[in-house]
Amino acid sequence: MSATETIDLDFEKGNFHYDTEYDYDAGTGLSEATIDYISGVKEEDSWVRDFRMKGLRTFTDKPMPTHWATRDLDNIDFNKIRYYLSKGQTPSRTWEEVPEDVKNTFERLGIPEQERKFLAGVEAQFDSEAAYSRMKDDLAKEGVIFVGSTEGLREHPEIFRRWFGKVIPTSDNKFSALNSAVFSGGSFIYVPPGVKVKQPLQAYFRINAENFGQFERTLIIADEGSEVTYMEGCTAPKFETSTLHSAVVELVALKGAKIQYITVQNWSNNVFNLVTKRARAEEEAEVKWIDCNIGSRLTMKYPGVILKGRKARGEVLSIALAGDGQHQDTGAKMIHAADETSSNIIAKSISVGTGRSSYRGIVNVPRNLKGCKNNTECDALLINSNSRTDTYPAITVRGDGNSVQHEASVSKVSAEQIFYMRQRGLSEAQAMSLSVNGFVNDLVREFPMEYSVELKRLIEMEMEGSVG
């Protein structure tokens, strides 16, 4: 069988790090001095510094949301985290200018290769700052802006300031406040009216330093009638102490615009991945979050869409795989705020070993709206007898012109399926792997081709040794 060959891949991919000499280091712990340092290094305007200070105050005031979330959050020691590390400010424009050791890291992750092949632009974030940033010239000619957050705020405040922090206010939750205080890196994208970006834009985030927190901030604005697809991938090497990743991603789809946001994360299993992602969809706009969560110690991520304009559409497709000792707490939020808006959530999770996957969702249809529709499907697959899965949706519907349906199911790989495949000569592990891939297949197909191949392999890797 060829199946054995596909499993034969680099299991330690992503698990490497280089001793990098950082030019700028904000040290450990968080205080006003940390903010001053970051703001100073970045030579930011005073309004950005004020925004950060407000974020810090909100972060300090807000309690941990452990009244509903897992107590594991209490294990994060905010005083031991390094909030800013950087090798210099200006992102290099050509691959040759990128320092050798940083380049090696990205080389192993396969970024230049992918860029050469088909990517329109690459924004690779190495710890806090974008180390490499380039975009195909023709895109720039059409007026597409694809820069890091620092550069975006400095060079294009007239575009980004208007929406910055508007979709996700600083006080949204404790971690969005933390990000507002110490954000660094991430992508700022602006697509002018009517421009359809055919190739996906891609960013890659990687945590290299131990005890480092990564707080990238991404803002994508798709102007009227434009279209854009954005892909991000995340990894971190395995360190002894836990690392924190707390991003804020804001998407704005103006009238008739389409945004597709694709995430594949494979953090090592000591990373706390606490991300706030939200989009605002104006009239007839469409926002689609495609989210795949593998790895990390605890992921809490609930991409949301605020359906602000008539006939806006929001979609979340999510795959979560919780391996041994991991907790994937993922879900979606759909806030209907205009007539005839529709939303769709399809979430599939797999729990392996002592892994725990949770679905948490909000669907809200307020009074006086007509013709709003939501469909939610959550399917969970349990592999081992000590695996766990939970579903916690909250659905509020007011008025008589709307319809909402939610369905969830929990199952295990059926003994009959396994028997059938073993009869035909597959080993139990192969049969299990095939079955699991079948379970997520209809969602995996939604990913771009090279991602879906990668994804299937990652799932196979995680499944290793869980059967028998």
Interacting residues toward another protein by CB under 8 A: 67-68, 367-368, 380, 382-412
Q: What sign does the dihedral 242-350-230-313 (CA atoms) show? A: negative
For the chain, the first-to-last Cα distance in angstroms comes to 20
User: Which tokens sit at 261?
Assistant: 């946001």
In the bound state with another protein, the residue whose beta carbon lies nearer, of 280 and 360, is 360
- Residue with Cβ nearer another protein (117 or 367): 367
CB of 60 to another protein, least distance (A): 20
Cβ at position 147, least distance to another protein in Å:
41
Paired with 202 in beta bridges are: 122, 231
Beta carbon nearer to another protein, 4 or 66: 66
Closest approach, Cβ 370 to another protein, in A, equals 9
464 three-class SS: coil
Contacts of 342 (CB under 8 A, 6+ apart): 307, 311, 313, 314, 372, 373, 374
Residue 56 vs residues 170, 178, 238: alpha-carbon distances, Å: 9, 6, 29
Minimum CB distance to another protein smaller for 401 or for 438: 401
The residue (of 63 and 425) whose beta carbon lies closer to another protein is 63
Contacts of 2 (CB under 8 A, 6+ apart): none
User: Cα(257)–Cα(245) distance, rounded to whole angstroms?
Assistant: 29
Least spacing, CB of residue 453 vs another protein, in Å: 28
110 vs 366, which CB is nearer to another protein?
A: 366
The values of phi and psi at residue 155, to 5°, are -90, -30
Cβ proximity to another protein: between 375 and 427 the closer is 375
Smallest separation, CB 442 to another protein (Å): 18
Is the Cβ of residue 338 or residue 382 nearer to another protein in the bound state? 382
Least separation in angstroms between residue 172's CB and another protein is: 16
Count of other CB atoms within 10 angstroms of residue 81: 22
Q: β-strands 271-281, 298-301: how paired?
A: parallel
- Of the two residues 41 and 382, which places its CB atom closer to another protein in the complex? 382
Distance of closest approach, residue 392 Cβ to another protein, in angstroms: 5
Is residue 274 within 8 Å of residue 329, measured between CB atoms? no
User: Which residues does 359 contact at the CB level (< 8 Å), separation at least 6?
Assistant: 330, 331, 347, 349, 378, 380, 390, 391, 392, 393, 408
Q: And the tokens for 79?
A: 């005083």
Q: How far is the CB of 307 from another protein (least distance, A)?
A: 17
- Give the shortest CB-351-to-another protein separation in angstroms: 8
Strands 213-214 and 217-222: unpaired
| Residue whose token pair is 């960013």 | 203
SS3 call for 289: strand
The CA distance from 190 to 213, in Å, is: 27
